[in-house]
Structure formats: structure tokens, C-alpha cells
Amino acid sequence: MLSKEELVNLALTDVQAFNNEIKNAKGGVDLSETDFSGTTIDGLEFINVDLTSSSFSDSHLSEVKFEACDLSSVDFTRAEVIECTFNESVLNGTDFSYSKVDYCNFSDSDMAGAIFQSADLTNSDLSMSENLSACRFDEDTIWPDNEYLPEDFDTKYSSDLSSLQDDDDYQQSDY
């Protein structure tokens, strides 16, 4: 098995060789805390890879497969994520803020704590994702049509305790 540095180099220079290494590893590959920010990645297959705390910020990802991956706390801010799959992956705390996530599939992915502040999720399929109601988003988040969302998910933004605001009508009491 190649070292983490060798795998990252392959991912950025030889997609086919990287995909073969991942398939031959038969799971359990550790690429946690890897910096892929600002890169263009097409056709990589991350299968059963630990990418915890990695960064793809400001990247362009096309047809990348994240299958059964741990994407906890991964940074996808300001990324273009097009036609990617996140099937059976853990996205706890994964940050897609200000990203364009178009034509992506999130089947059986755990979305608890995922962040979609001002993200554009047009045409992505989140209908079979889990725990989407535990994600964070704002009024600028663009969701796909309802048929691509879980039945019990409400796309209307409402303030929660994490966005405490002062009430202008509140009168301070002397008691």
C-alpha cells in the first residue's frame, strides 16, 4: 500500500492509478486531514476512505465518487461539486457553505450536522439521505425540488438558538 503522500499525489496526477490503488486496498484507506483545496478533480473514486477534516474548499469536483466514506468535518466551502455521489457516507459537520452542489446523489448518507449556508443544491438528490433535518442552512440556501428531498424535511429557514438575536421590543426591568 502506498503512503498517504503518494496516494494524494496519484489523486492529483493519475486518476486511473489512484482508483486502482483504492480498489486494491479493499477499504480502510486513511486520507484524513488532506488538503485538496483549490484543485480540479474529475472521476476519482474514494471508496471506504477516511477523509475526516480534509479540505476541498475552492475546488472543482466532477463525477467524483465518495462511497461509504467518512467525510466528517470536511470543508467543501465555495467548491463546485458537480455530478458527484456521496452514497452511504457520513457527512457529520461537513461544510458546503457557498458551494454549488449540482446533480449530486446523497443516498443513505448521514447528513447530521452538515452545513449548507448559502449553498446551491439545485438538481441534487437528497431524498434518500438520513438526518437532513439535523443540518444547518439559511434563507439563502437553494434546495432542489421537493421530489429530491426527504418527505419530512422543511426547507423553510427559521432562526434557532445558534442565531440568537436581540429583541428590540424587550424592555429591561429594574427587578
Domains of the chain, with CATH numbers?
Answer: 4-145 (2.160.20.80)
Per-residue model confidence as pLDDT tens digits over 72-88: 999 999 999 999 999 99
Cα 164–chain centre separation: 26
Cβ–Cβ under 8 Å, residues 104 and 84: yes
Predicted pLDDT of residue 164: 47
**Cα–Cα dist 161/136, whole Å:** 12
0.75 exceeded by pTM: yes
Predicted pLDDT of residue 145: 95
Report the amino acid identity of residue 44.
L
Average pLDDT over residues 61-66: 98
Q: Which three cell numbers stand for residue 130?
A: 438520513
